[in-house]
Structure 1
Amino acid sequence: MTDSSKKSLRIGEIYTVEIEKAAHGGHFIARHEGAVIFIRHAIPGEIVEVEITAIEKSFYRAEVRAVVEASPHRVQAPCQYARPGGCGGCDFQHIDYAHQRQIKSEVIAEQFARIAKMEIDVEVEEVSTPLHWRSRFAATTNGQSDLGFKETRSNSVIAISECPVLLPEIDFDTIARESISPNSRIEVALSTQGERTISVAPNRNNRLEKNPPAQIVEGKSALHYEIATNSDTLKFQVSQGSFWQSNINAPATLVNAVRAYADVQEGDHIIDLYGGVGLFAKALVKDIGLTGHIDLVEASTTATRDAQQNFRDHKNVTVHRGDVARLISQFESADVVLLDPPRTGAGQAVLAAIADLAPRSIIYIACDPAALARDTGYLHESGYHLQSIRAFDLFPMTHHIESIALYTADKVS
């Protein structure tokens, strides 16, 4: 901290502050004599004692050590490990569930106001119960082979015996009792058909490394899902290494929302970017009829292999494996473009290429409101404006949010 007008704080010091508002990423903002502090495990409006835990270039990080004046929305966390210095997974368990969603709505609005210079008001819709919703997870063993999750901003593993956000059918207790090598990454998935797969791999040495290949120690290499949507029941093969939404209700919820936004017509050409195993393409393939076509683009070898299997009976779906930024140039036009990019967003170059295809609508599925706000600005520069946005609480008890945004071309007078 170099600004002489701000007080210089030190790690380990305790201060009493009032929490102002929520920030992107699960933190809450307070100030002390001009110094900005990002705090975890707080609620706006509270007065709390905090301990400085880290010094960044323009702000400090801190944890709540005592609540002086509690918010009426503060509750007892349902998980014994959801606390300062505990599991880093569920950072909102101390907040009543309705207020969690309200805070997330405010975070989305703040990101759009700050980054996209737009005023929006969006409700974060409830998708599942706040507990017992998660069907997939990744955990880690420590040096003593205890299974757990990492502490926030740390490589320390918090050993746990239960996790209340997991579906009970995952049977976490039996996994925790398994003999697993120390310092390993464990990935567990449960399908809608009751299949359970467990894979184990060595931990990577740093965040820049790719995860080492995993070995399946229980179950088959591919799981099978049936998703009941508003219009149909869809069936999917999803391999251990392919992405699939972790909330048990998320696939149907997202499919229904995307289908409503897409308003697909018979004969449409749809381009599904970052299309994974084909969740959205499968929901739209009937709507385009035999004269329509879907091009699905996905970088993952495993996911494209699943997509090819999922569309083996659909001659009007072509699966392309490769980088979206490279492959999008091979398309000349589209009626509808879907994109579900990674957390970092699609970026200016990809969005400009999408706009060049002149689709009547663009549907953007996003897991980071800051990236979505930034990319909304890029689309505006390319002649597309935000028509509508919905947000879904796919990750109760955490700060994470999923959004779906619809963009249409600006009208030319």
Structure 2
Amino acid sequence: MSEQQRAVGEGLTGDDLLEGVEVDVEVERYAHGGHCVARHDGRVLFVRHTLPGERVRARVTESTPGRSFVRADAVEVLRAAPERVERRCGWSGPGLCGGCDLQHVELAAQRRLKAAAVAASMERIGGLDVTGLLAPEAEPVAGDESGLRWRTRTTFAVDDRGRPGLRAHRSHEIVPVDDCPITVRPALATGVLEQDWEGALAVTAVAPSVGDPVLVPVGERGRPLHEVPRVTEAVATPEGERRWTIGARGFWQVHPGAPATLVSAVLEAAAVQPGDRVLDLYCGAGLLTLPLAEATGDGGQVVGVEAAGPAVDDARAALAEHPWVALVASRVDEAFGLARTDPGRRRPRRGRTRGGPRARHDLLPPTADVVVLDPPREGAGAAVVAAIADLRPRTVVHVACDPAALARDAAAFVARGYELSALRAFDAFPMTHHVECVATFRRADAV
């Protein structure tokens, strides 16, 4: 293969698409994950930094013999799409920071791409047609206008010289940066990017909605090098502003408008009635548990289930004045008495064994009126979906951050007699491919 052939892909077959090879391709559809689909000699290329309808020169970045696809970066745009804009960040692009996939896309177009990716996942993976259910654009969250300066929690990797930066896409390589345009200014004003972090492997900058920003350096296995400070977050709920005090490294929505947006969307979808029995699964620090408890009133019952012990403690503190709420510190599958599962994986993690069935937790009721679940990225899985369906709730509200996992869970709910009645996508992570979804399922025979 000549250098000229290697550079422009002249006469190359699909088998010649090795790492470093460049080939001119026509870009087809957008796919969830921040890349678009292109083809060369029958082989699929997943190409980043491009848009549907463009013609680009793509450089192969990963190629595995025998696989039907390769990964690539668009290193030159030969014909631009009208939605293409100048990147807002100098560290975004081929070979640079891997955090933002869509810096080159106009904001409204980003939201259309995300909605289309959700619809495609629901159809291809879940076998569900969501035409008429899903808006053509992902909805912006409260307060978002530019898609920049929204990230209130950013973890910067630290290189062997103590310099903070961000990792390149699918790489351990650290790109030193002196700004991150999606991170809020108060987090950067801590001086996180100016300090020498020798001895740390990463440092997290947190700008809570109440109080001063904090920095948390971490070492091996993500262990904090100092005592982790606690921060306060305030959220507008139908009953007024509510506050949570959580560990700075505990899970919380990173977009400042996302908590209130999700609370509103979930309450609307759940349509909880006074006196209802509600389960809030994977409840974290109780962001949704508290407004759900306020909706049921003291004549109702709410059970929250969460595996992370510190989050359960934080939820207990936030819900101290709501005695009709019970919190279960457990994995959801184990609380249902199921064997431990890893829903998104074809095989167990190496060195990890799955436990056998356990006794169902005493606090889990035999029935429920409403179930809300916000599982981790891999989704709930068929076994947990079946256990939820066995409770015969009239409504299930599924909050999801991965369209593929949501599609798998949605198919499982439909197989168990539920209908997908509503689906909303929220642009809670502008400039990235990530999207937050709220799906509503109604029991087909519910009155």
Work out whether the TM-score is over 0.5: yes
Partners of 1:234 and 1:283 within 8 A in 2: no
Counterpart of 1:304?
A: 312
SS at 2:293's partner residue? helix
1:13 to 3, 6, 21: 21
Q: Aligned equivalents of 1:241 and 1:147: distance in 2?
A: 18
- Pair 1:339-2:373 in alignment: yes
TM-score (normalizing by structure 1):
0.93
Structure 1 alignment gaps of length 5 or more:
204-210
Counterpart of 2:140?
A: 126
Q: Aligned equivalents of 1:149 and 1:7: distance in 2?
A: 33
1:144 to 152, 161, 166: 161
Counterpart of 2:38?
A: 30
Q: Aligned equivalents of 2:211 and 2:184: distance in 1?
A: 11
Counterpart of 2:121?
A: 111
Q: Aligned equivalents of 2:219 and 2:446: distance in 1?
A: 56
Change (3 A) 1:172 1:88: farther
Once the two structures are superposed, the pairs formed by residues 226-241 of structure 1 within 5 Å of their partners are 226-241=234-249
Counterpart of 1:206?
A: none
Q: Aligned equivalents of 2:190 and 2:40: distance in 1?
A: 44
- Pair 1:212-2:229 in alignment: no
Q: Aligned equivalents of 1:115 and 1:363: distance in 2?
A: 19
Counterpart of 2:4?
A: none
Q: Aligned equivalents of 2:210 and 2:249: distance in 1?
A: 18
Partners of 2:125 and 2:408 within 8 A in 1: yes
- Deviation string 1:154-210 (CA, Å, 9 cap, x unpaired) is 00001000111111121356111223125511122111113322111125xxxxxxx
Q: Aligned equivalents of 2:445 and 2:274: distance in 1?
A: 24
Partners of 2:219 and 2:225 within 8 A in 1: no
- Pair 1:367-2:377 in alignment: no
Once the two structures are superposed, the pairs formed by residues 211-290 of structure 1 within 5 Å of their partners are 211-216=221-226, 221-290=229-298
Q: Aligned equivalents of 1:202 and 1:248: distance in 2?
A: 27
- Pair 1:156-2:166 in alignment: no
Partners of 1:227 and 1:234 within 8 A in 2: yes
Indicate the larger mover: 52-61 or 151-160. 52-61
- Deviation string 1:121-172 (CA, Å, 9 cap, x unpaired) is 4231011130111111111111111111100010000100011111112135
SS at 1:334's partner residue? coil
Identity of aligned residues (%): 36
Change (3 A) 1:18 1:230: farther
Counterpart of 2:440?
A: 406
Indicate the larger mover: 142-151 or 223-232. 223-232
Question: Alignment RMSD, CA only?
Answer: 1.6
Indicate the larger mover: 125-134 or 147-156. 125-134
Change (3 A) 1:179 1:11: closer
- Pair 1:46-2:80 in alignment: no
Partners of 1:197 and 1:216 within 8 A in 2: no
Counterpart of 1:207?
A: none
Q: Aligned equivalents of 2:297 and 2:15: distance in 1?
A: 65
Indicate the larger mover: 227-236 or 313-322. 227-236
Q: Aligned equivalents of 1:169 and 1:240: distance in 2?
A: 15
Partners of 2:151 and 2:183 within 8 A in 1: yes
SS at 2:148's partner residue? coil
Counterpart of 1:174?
A: 191
Indicate the larger mover: 291-300 or 172-181. 172-181
SS at 1:193's partner residue? coil
Change (3 A) 1:34 1:162: same
Partners of 1:242 and 1:300 within 8 A in 2: no
Counterpart of 1:389?
A: 423
Partners of 1:146 and 1:182 within 8 A in 2: no
User: After TM superposition, what 4+ stretches of structure 1 lie above 3 angstroms from structure 2?
Assistant: 5-8
Q: Aligned equivalents of 2:153 and 2:237: distance in 1?
A: 20
Partners of 1:163 and 1:172 within 8 A in 2: no
- Deviation string 1:265-319 (CA, Å, 9 cap, x unpaired) is 1111111100000000111212211111111100001101111111112111111
Structure 2 alignment gaps of length 5 or more:
1-12, 337-359
SS at 1:247's partner residue? coil
Counterpart of 1:102?
A: 112
Change (3 A) 1:182 1:50: farther
Partners of 2:178 and 2:193 within 8 A in 1: yes
Counterpart of 1:208?
A: none
Q: Aligned equivalents of 1:228 and 1:147: distance in 2?
A: 34
Q: Aligned equivalents of 1:54 and 1:103: distance in 2?
A: 24
Change (3 A) 1:316 1:157: same
TM-score (normalizing by structure 2):
0.87
SS at 1:279's partner residue? coil
2:386 to 336, 345, 352: 352
Aligned AA (1:326): E
Partners of 1:188 and 1:198 within 8 A in 2: yes
- Pair 1:195-2:229 in alignment: no
Aligned AA (2:385): L
Indicate the larger mover: 66-75 or 323-332. 323-332
